Amino acid sequence: NGVAPREQELIARRQKLLGPAYRLFYANPVHVVRGEGVWLYDPDGNAYLDVYNNVASVGHCHPHVVAALSRQAAVLNTHTRYLNDTILDYAEKLLGYFPPELSHVMFTCTGSEANDLAYRAARSFTGGTGMIVTRLAYHGVTVAISEMSPSLGDGITLGAHVRTVPAPDLYRASGQDVGEAFGRAVREAIADMVAHGIRPAALLVDTIFSSDGVFSDPPGFLQPAVAAIREAGGLFIADEVQPGFGRTGEAMWGFMRHGLVPDMVTMGKPMGNGHPIAAMVAKPEILDRFGERTRYFNTFGGNPVSCAVGQAVLEVIEGEGILENARDVGAYLREGLRGLAQRHEVIGDVRGAGLFIGVELVRDRATREPDGESTAKLVNGLRERRILISAAGPHANVLKIRPPLVFQREHADRFLEGVDAVLGEIG
Ligand code: PMP
């Protein structure tokens, strides 16, 4: 299988020490020891182009972020039950990127915890428990959130209070208005909940529908669904763990593409560029209700080191024109991919916003039959050329392209050459 002895040994140690629930990427797993910008390096010094890591969003080991981390770590790290400016400076700065209605923030360490907290707050505010998510959603690892993460597969039983709706897939919409169709599905899910005596708490969606297969268009398509959940007394929670912090190029948050203001927003991954910091932003009336009845303390969430890191990430996003770059290079990359589609029949659709791009591979453009097999070959073929990428969607036939946002046109060219070459080989 092409795996070298040194890496075979690491695989064996992982299995022995970590058990079977961990999964590696690629038939020939990649061994990395260092990262810088858009590059990862193996122990022999070979460079891999990272076209997939949306966590190290302003670039692996960005010096400004690393300096902020080590500076604060050398001065003070503690929790949120003392007075300290760092958390307040960061909270102020972060909330400045949101519409004024969203004026409170609570800090966690992971996106899962942020979603878990949002779910608790939605329950306390609405008095309901019912949740609506998309058919292949992923929202996290806690018991409550894994039970609303159908992409985890058959091993997970969805909660009795959870309903799934098909993702808003423009490519397969056959001329239907995707927003209307999505809204209708949400209404049906609500009706079914109510028929079973379940009161709706919230509609929770990843606003770029990452694990469902990347759905970005047409802008605004979320509006009917959000209207439906609100009419039923439920809330709209935007999960920005994937699209947040400028990835979509046009705005800091994916929900902005849809011209609406969520009731709560959760975020994580790129927030600390690799350091574990995450958060939930909410309308104050929701957190008033939550805070009246319970206290919240998260030992590590919102600690000064994490907040200093978060602040530094925002400084880089502003100082280095990260959104503009995501917009420019994202458009360039989509154009390049559409060019490749003219020569490679297997490319059925190119979609996305900024540097969050989905490329759907199909056996036949007329029937749109998914081609998971070619997608796996392409992903592994690119890996052999030291280009890192992965796939998503119900048939694992959608390339998920989301490089660090410092990705340049020259990196896009290298990626496009790789895709062209591998597709040529696999025919
Ligand atoms: N929501 C979405 C949309 C995600 O993609 C993820 C992580 N893949 C999470 C939540 C959970 O975040 P974390 O892994 O930080 O708990």
Q: Longest Cα pair distance anywhere in the chain, in angstroms? A: 62
| In the predicted structure, residue 22 carries a pLDDT above the cut 80 | yes
C-alpha distance from residue 298 to each of 109, 116, 245 (Å):
8, 13, 23
Query: Would you state the pLDDT for residue 34?
Result: 98
pLDDT category at 293 given cuts 50, 70, 90 is confident
pLDDT category at 155 given cuts 50, 70, 90 is confident
Angle at 277 between CA 210 and CA 400, to 5 degrees: 20
Cα four-point dihedral sign 249, 251, 255, 257? negative
pTM as predicted? 0.97
Percent of the residues in the chain that have a pLDDT greater than 70, as a whole number:
100
pLDDT category at 189 given cuts 50, 70, 90 is very high
Q: 206 CA to middle of ligand 1, Å?
A: 9
| Six token digits for residue 364 | 């036949």
Q: 140 CA to middle of ligand 1, Å?
A: 5
In tens, the pLDDT along 41-99 reads 999 999 999 999 999 999 999 999 999 999 999 999 999 999 999 999 999 999 999 99
pLDDT category at 114 given cuts 50, 70, 90 is very high
Mean pLDDT, the chain, rounded, equals 97
Angle between helices 63-73 and 304-319 (to 10 degrees): 160
Distance of alpha carbon 381 from alpha carbon 107, whole angstroms: 40
Strand-pairing partners, residue 369, are: 364
Which of 183, 192, 202 has the alpha carbon at shortest distance from 128? Answer: 202
In tens, the pLDDT along 72-84 reads 999 999 999 999 9
Catalogue all structural domains in the chain, each as residue range(s) with its CATH number: 32-58+321-426 (3.90.1150.10), 63-319 (3.40.640.10)
Starting at the edge strand found earlier in the chain, the sheet holding 104-108 runs 104-108, 278-282, 264-267, 235-239, 200-206, 130-134, 162-165
What is the average per-residue pLDDT within 146-159?
Answer: 94
Would you report the helix, strand and coil content of the chain in percent, each value rounded to 5?
A: 40, 20, 40
Q: 111 CA to middle of ligand 1, Å?
A: 5
| In the predicted structure, residue 1 carries a pLDDT above the cut 90 | no
- Whose CA is closest to atom 2 on ligand 1? 139
Ligand 1 atom with minimal separation from the 140 CA: 11
Distance of alpha carbon 306 from alpha carbon 167, whole angstroms: 34
Distance of alpha carbon 96 from alpha carbon 102, whole angstroms: 10
Query: Would you state the pLDDT for residue 171?
Result: 97
Report the SS3 class of residue 261.
coil
Percent of the residues in the chain that have a pLDDT greater than 90, as a whole number:
97
Q: 268 CA to middle of ligand 1, Å?
A: 7
Distance of alpha carbon 316 from alpha carbon 67, whole angstroms: 12
C-alpha distance from residue 362 to each of 107, 169, 179, 365, 402 (Å):
42, 15, 24, 6, 21
Lining residues, ligand 1, CB within 6 Å = 110-112, 115, 138-141, 206, 210, 239, 241-242, 268, 278
180-209 core/surface letters (b: 16 or more CB in 10 A; e: else): ebbbbbbbebbeebeeeebbbbbbbbbbbb
**Do 323 and 329 contact (CB within 8 A), yes or no?**
no
Number of alpha helices (DSSP H) and beta strands (DSSP E) in the chain: 12, 16
In tens, the pLDDT along 294-347 reads 999 999 999 999 999 999 999 999 999 999 999 999 999 999 999 999 999 999
